[in-house]
């Protein structure tokens, strides 16, 4: 059983809430079958000190109010396949998330913050899952999630590292509380607990033992 966690749960587990408005500049990307869009900017991640590496960041990832997972929709509407039934459903009162890509694993600092390479997009359900566990995963569209070789390899921050939106230089935040499900191998929001939502494998999502506290980026618009 493949466990993506570097060092387990972060010490920073405060959930942030709020309404994010404005999509900013976007550009078409072919990596998600011509439907993906990305922020016209990069994210600089500093682990404790220093300037840190720079990652490109893809916007239009959304929280599904039915399954508690995260999915991609370039037109900000329902999409993909939801284990609750029908399509994933977003809510405009939730954040438009931005997922970094094009970087590398970054060592965990003394506060439990870091960046983890290896998350993938499944073209069948539009969800995000741990790529190394594709053969053990479960997709709501049936069978396993699919790793698409031409799609991005995503880099998820965990803990809550310092994030700077380039080229504006403004400080942005990731939202803690996202967990790795040991059953479907996808990412879900725990709402302060270790389980919840609807898992395509059956029942509720359940945090894999030792999973990091991941924090997708709240797109600043």
Answer yes or no: are the C-beta atoms of 161 and 47 closer than 8 Å.
yes
pLDDT value, residue 25? 22
- What backbone torsions phi and psi does residue 32 show, to the nearest 5 degrees? -110, 60
Q: What is the DSSP string of 130-195?
A: EGGGGGG---TTSS-----TTSPPEEEEES--EEEEETTTEEE-B---EEEBTTT-BEEE-TTSSE
**DSSP letter, residue 32:** G
**Of 23, 26, 34, the residue nearest 56 (C-alpha):** 26
C-alpha distances in Å from residue 144, one per residue of 13, 57, 65, 139, 186: 30, 26, 22, 5, 11
Query: What distance in Å separates the CA atoms of residue 61 and residue 74, rounded to the nearest whole number?
Result: 8
Those residues with Cβ within 8 angstroms of residue 88's Cβ, 6 or more apart along the chain or in another chain? 62, 64, 66, 67, 69, 71, 73, 78, 79, 80, 81, 82, 125, 126, 127
pLDDT value, residue 155? 93
Answer yes or no: are the C-beta atoms of 130 and 207 closer than 8 Å.
no
pLDDT value, residue 170? 87
The answer to whether the pTM exceeds 0.85 is no
Digits of tens for pLDDT over the chain (221 positions)?
Answer: 455 543 332 222 222 222 222 212 222 222 222 233 344 568 888 776 567 888 999 989 999 999 999 999 987 788 999 999 999 998 877 788 999 998 888 888 888 888 999 999 999 999 999 999 999 999 999 999 999 888 899 999 999 888 888 888 888 888 999 999 999 999 999 999 999 999 999 999 999 987 889 999 988 76
Per-residue pLDDT reduced to its tens digit, 23-81 = 122 222 222 222 333 445 688 887 765 678 889 999 899 999 999 999 999 877 889 99
pLDDT value, residue 154? 94
Helix (H, G, I), strand (E, B) or coil at 31: helix
Query: What distance in Å separates the CA atoms of residue 131 and residue 89, rounded to the nearest whole number?
Result: 24
pLDDT value, residue 70? 96
Helix (H, G, I), strand (E, B) or coil at 207: strand
The full set of domain ranges for the chain reads: 26-218
């Amino acid at each position: 059983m493949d466990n993506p966690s570097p060092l387990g749960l972060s010490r920073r587990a405060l959930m942030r809430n709020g309404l994010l408005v404005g999509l900013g500049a976007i550009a078409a990307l072919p990596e998600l079958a011509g439907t993906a869009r990305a922020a016209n900017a990069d994210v600089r991640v500093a682990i404790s000190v220093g300037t840190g590496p720079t990652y490109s960041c893809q916007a239009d990832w959304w929280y599904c109010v039915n399954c508690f997972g995260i999915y991609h929709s370039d037109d900000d509407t329902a999409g993909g396949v939801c284990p609750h039934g029908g399509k994933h459903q977003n809510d405009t009162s939730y954040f438009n998330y931005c997922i970094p890509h094009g970087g590398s694993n970054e060592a965990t600092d003394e506060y439990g913050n870091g960046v983890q390479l290896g998350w993938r997009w499944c073209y069948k359900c539009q969800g995000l899952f741990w790529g190394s566990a594709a053969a053990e995963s479960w997709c709501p569209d049936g069978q396993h999630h699919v790793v698409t070789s031409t799609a991005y390899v995503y880099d998820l921050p965990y803990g809550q590292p310092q994030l700077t939106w380039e080229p504006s230089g403004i400080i942005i935040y990731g939202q803690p509380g996202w967990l790795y499900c040991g059953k479907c191998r996808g990412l879900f929001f725990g709402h302060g607990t270790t389980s919840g939502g609807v898992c395509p494998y059956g029942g509720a999502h359940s945090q894999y033992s030792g999973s990091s506290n991941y924090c997708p980026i709240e797109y600043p618009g």
